[in-house]
Structure 1
């Protein structure tokens, strides 16, 4: 089982169940996420949609290079566009969403979390938009979302540094909404989300509709997918292939 969907008092919790791969996203996880979002959006009992990773070490390490690393040309572009479309749907989801960053979040894992309304990080988590070290840019719309959600200079700094940062540093720049103690992690995130789950569905959806207006503009959507197209161009570059070589040799 690559992923699972559970329900807790109005909260639909989607868990990536690949701890041996640091909860990396593959095609199976993409399919599971798409199905989970459809179910959560349609279920009137679900008030909040949350995402986390299995185990205690990693939230999500991004794309699974054992599946995506060898993609080139049209195949790479299709993979990027498919996940980008899923994150755009998450960004415009009709109910509140939360990333429960229970450990390391790298690359595409940070993009996944950025698409959510809230990001709660377990103390000790390391977070990094490291794509720049691999000769590519954010490939699932992450930069467009980051520039829209953080002050310009802070967003650009995070992207250009392309390095793992502490949860405290990411909280200081505005990406992490709260750092929760590891000892009471599950109780703490449930406590944070409980007030949202107590509100009426009509109120939640009305506020999300208002919040989502800026994401639905033709300008933002064009920018979002243009970013993905630029990453697709870099995917087959010599720099990216050289950066991937050590990872692929381990597979």
Structure 2
């Protein structure tokens, strides 16, 4: 059994490698000379189509989200928005399109490689009101009462101490501020061999917790008006399962009457 710090180190390593290899993955399809391997598909099986959203930048989209949190975030012109696990900047740039020049966007990510990519993307476009900070979202390097809105896309479920994260979200939000998070939750008990698998863990799947436990953590952090805005079933392709799991574990998983879901949830700080 891995410790919490070992789990975080594994996720940091996997996503840092993804940041470095992202250029190789962009644009891969069935017509390409080298289709994306099952090992890489684990990162992208839940991804959403951002391309029609205002502010979308293709080189900032690594395809590792599981929802469209900015669509439900109610971001207004002039807002200060914090994006947790900001990656290459995708959600930050879309949030910027909502806040306008008078707003402020802060992206936080613990992978220095992701921060470097995001900063390059922002500099290339001359964005002066978008900043990217290297830091741990369990201990955010920002003051109390900073944000009007906090967003995140398929990140919290990667980290083991969700209570710390929701307490931090509460701290950095202004009174009356709110969050909108897309994340992965489970229904039913999965085979231990499934949840212990390192690649599945870092790929947003095996680290997720039960849906009711997830909502309970939000309530314990004293948020109000908690609402699930959207639910989507996540189906793991057979080739991804076979890449990471043996046949016996796959059989247990398929017979287990378990579900994996992407939810987008909102809540308000009183």
TM-score (norm 2): 0.25
More helix by share: 1
TM-score (norm 1): 0.26
Pick the structure with greater CA Rg: 2
More strand by share: 2
